[in-house]
Amino acid sequence: MRAEEHTITTDYGPVYYRSAPDAEPPVLYLHGAGTSSDDWIPFVERTGGIAPDLIGFGRSAKGGHLDYSPEGLAGFVERFLEDIGVERVRLVGHEWGAAIGLLLAARDPARVERLVLIDAVPLLPGYRWHRIARLSRRPVIGELAMGSATRSMLARVLRGGAARPETWTEERVTTVWEHFDQGTQRALLRLHRAAGESRLAELGASISELGMPTLIVWGERDPWFGPELADRYAARLPQARIELIAGAGHWPWLDRPEVIDVVAGFLAGA
């Protein structure tokens, strides 16, 4: 099915999202930091659902006054669902989108019927950020790194996260680069600086109370978030099961497109 494109006016500014017809409750797709709802096009076309560009990313508002902390982004998603009249969802999140989905579910467990976490940012005690994120957290150095980024540098980072570099085609890289402007760079810096290791653990303190069916999908070759984190998440989520994806990196569905069918089956209740 074809995904339609929308832009609505909100208190945050313009918010862009894609949607396709879906069963009730609809699937809500939340992307990771630095990319956009473009990540979810094959999912939305396969399952239907709703995929917004989070504030600070893609085509949505990127104002300097907005709150790009994890809590701020979770609040944005809550308000976005209110604005489009959706009360309950099945939720799929990747990386930061998965962590934001967990925060949303912890605030109101009744809102989320089923949950899919894909290579999620670890809301777990004892986690230490990977090197790229640690650089982003450092004052001045983070700004210099962001400000000096080139398209080829971005391509190297994206391809470094994949199990197969050819997964990130020139077209896919261009799509991310087109939106990697000053507003997105600012959002990335503020997000990572609001999320130190101890803060991640604090944010994740309540997730063990979540009882909805949960699928944890993890690329075994993710260079930033190792697959052992899937086990740690599963130990804290009582209704979780794990799908480790061999030959896949940080975006497992790009390396292994059959992951889309795995997720679709779970969302349908399989």
Q: Where are the domains of the chain?
A: 4-267
pLDDT for 199 equals 87
Topology at the third CATH level for domain 4-267: Rossmann fold (3.40.50)
Give φ, ψ of 28 to 5 degrees.
Answer: -110, 125
What value, to the nearest 5°, has the Cα angle with vertex 162 and ends 57 and 153?
Answer: 60
Indicate the pTM of the whole model: 0.96
Q: What is the pLDDT of residues 101-113, one digit of tens each?
A: 999 999 999 999 9
pLDDT for 270 equals 67
Q: What share of the chain is helix, strand, coil (3-state, %, to 5)?
A: 45, 20, 35
DSSP label at 5? E
Helix (H) or strand (E) holding 101: helix 96-107
Which positions of the chain have pLDDT values less than 50? none
